[in-house]
Structure 1
């Protein structure tokens, strides 16, 4: 039988160059980088045309601080989506953590640390409830998380019936400083944590479940444990999103997290995360969050009528998602 040309070349095993393998494995991330660069270029061009100067430190800092809550919400969504699930309760957990932070954070450093940890535990508990219902209750993730979204939002409104509360200035400075885009340091930290997660047994299990649950179980992956912990981690990152939102707004609002439910999904998809599970990157999801913010900025400085901004924003996002999916499939076939 003649050698398979796809496997051997001139009788020798065919090996693709390492850079092609890396690109094939990270097509979504590469596309997210390209889209972010393009959106930045378009933003700068429109900004110069409107303001007759380049964006400065204030614009950069404002953009970063605005994006951070969505960045963490997109990470939360990504971890769950990798298991072939979806978490519609992200916005509810953001609301609840935001409300608790606004009401309970005191002026002392000890109180801030204590209640920040409490908020993270609340987020983990919310994620645990989702994970148990989906995994042990064998219920559909979309139905479970849609129900818990309403529950968490209801509790959030009970904690903070109307916008208010107060976030200490030093807390705001630590998470959303107005002196510079220092919040990007948290992006670097998350990037390192994602690298560690991807190589941990839990990370391997999460990706394995998303690719083939039966095969993952046959290869010794604790499927139930991995899926439940994925939802727990999702809850923790949603809670972190709520803390960043409270810090940037310097107050609380039990309804502001509503938008993060859908935008976290959009950001994840823009970052190359597959809704079919098993493929994606947390760093790409963060890039997707920045792309979403840049689209909003572009529409604002293009002087689009506010009544039509939502229409154009949705249109651009749909086109971007379709482009990411189409180009990604073509590149993987070409590899």
Structure 2
């Protein structure tokens, strides 16, 4: 039987949907739900990488700015150097993956806390992004780079190709964590790293691999961001790191590691998206979205702490 921690995000999402449905008649339309998915697809991919790291009892504050750097790199080489869309996106993906590997190397080889490491790379990525782009948005990009932001018809509803990518990534991650040996090792490292090491699992290799995969996912998020906005924005992602962490925690993944699921994170992403969309439809200023998100994450962390103490 599913635990309360697993069912909690689903109940919270249903309650939020039910509430906003009573506030605006447009909320329950398929078109609005499609819009919510388009609005959260970038943060959703960032949150997937963040989930893998938090499952190992780490945290990544740099995900949003690594994504921004990847987006600027792929947009600028396409606009200034005339690279094709696939080549430009591959370079951006390589940059974010390398930064993920840098995070993993510093955490595993130098034994530095992930909070400090990723706080440092956040600032490095922000500075490099601003210097490389000269703080200018790059808009002259090839058509192929915005393809994922295009839509196809599903009945009467327009669905973005980027949303399909988001859902496929979650399906693959869910399968990998449940059905493969490396996926089970991620949970083991989060639960008890020393015991995991003693049974012969290379914990450093697992941790390094998690940060590399997360970096690659930030590159995919950069592709989706460029596709959705049609530009490489050096100011993108400045709050996406907190949004991603909020979604992970709301989805029931423990900040102490070893417990949680990517499907819970997907629910957490949808909770954030539903609240922001619903508050907008109610005509409330955007600052209320920030306020509600802050309250939700504090409540989620408090619940996680209580559940952890009760499990002892």
Q: Same fold (TM over 0.5)?
A: yes
Structure 1 unpaired stretches of 5+: 1-19
Q: For the aligned residues, what is the CA RMSD?
A: 2.7
Query: How far 1:120 sits from its partner (Å)?
Result: 1.7
CA pair 139-83 structure 1, distance change in 2 beyond 3 A: same
Deviations 1:28-57 (A, max 9, x none): 443222222222222222222xxxx55444
Query: How far 1:319 sits from its partner (Å)?
Result: 3.5
2:173 to 191, 194, 214: 194
Could you tell me how far apart the structure 1 residues matched to 2:141 and 2:194 are? 47
Query: How far 1:130 sits from its partner (Å)?
Result: 0.5
CA pair 171-132 structure 1, distance change in 2 beyond 3 A: same
Provide the TM-score with structure 1 as the length reference.
Answer: 0.82
Query: Hey, what does 1:93 align to over in structure 2?
Result: 66
CA pair 36-307 structure 1, distance change in 2 beyond 3 A: closer
Could you tell me how far apart the structure 2 residues matched to 1:325 and 1:162 are? 43
Query: Hey, what does 1:120 align to over in structure 2?
Result: 93
Could you tell me how far apart the structure 2 residues matched to 1:238 and 1:75 are? 9
Q: Does 1:70 align with 2:50?
A: no
Query: Hey, what does 1:13 align to over in structure 2?
Result: none
CA pair 331-112 structure 1, distance change in 2 beyond 3 A: farther
CA pair 80-317 structure 1, distance change in 2 beyond 3 A: closer
The answer as to whether partners of 1:299 and 1:313 remain within 8 angstroms in 2 is: no
The answer as to whether partners of 1:270 and 1:324 remain within 8 angstroms in 2 is: no
Query: Hey, what does 2:113 align to over in structure 1?
Result: 140
Q: Does 1:79 align with 2:71?
A: no
Paired positions, count: 304
125-134 or 38-47: bigger deviation: 38-47
Could you tell me how far apart the structure 2 residues matched to 1:319 and 1:230 are? 27
Written as runs of structure 1 = structure 2, the 5 A alignment for 1:1-335 is 20=1, 23-24=2-3, 27-48=4-25, 53=26, 55-105=28-78, 111-160=84-133, 161-177=135-151, 180-182=158-160, 183-198=162-177, 199-322=179-302
Could you tell me how far apart the structure 1 residues matched to 2:32 and 2:304 are? 27
* SS of residue in 2 equivalent to 1:181: strand
The answer as to whether partners of 1:95 and 1:254 remain within 8 angstroms in 2 is: yes
The answer as to whether partners of 2:62 and 2:122 remain within 8 angstroms in 1 is: yes
Provide the TM-score with structure 2 as the length reference.
Answer: 0.87
CA pair 29-100 structure 1, distance change in 2 beyond 3 A: farther
Query: Hey, what does 1:14 align to over in structure 2?
Result: none
Query: How far 1:85 sits from its partner (Å)?
Result: 0.9
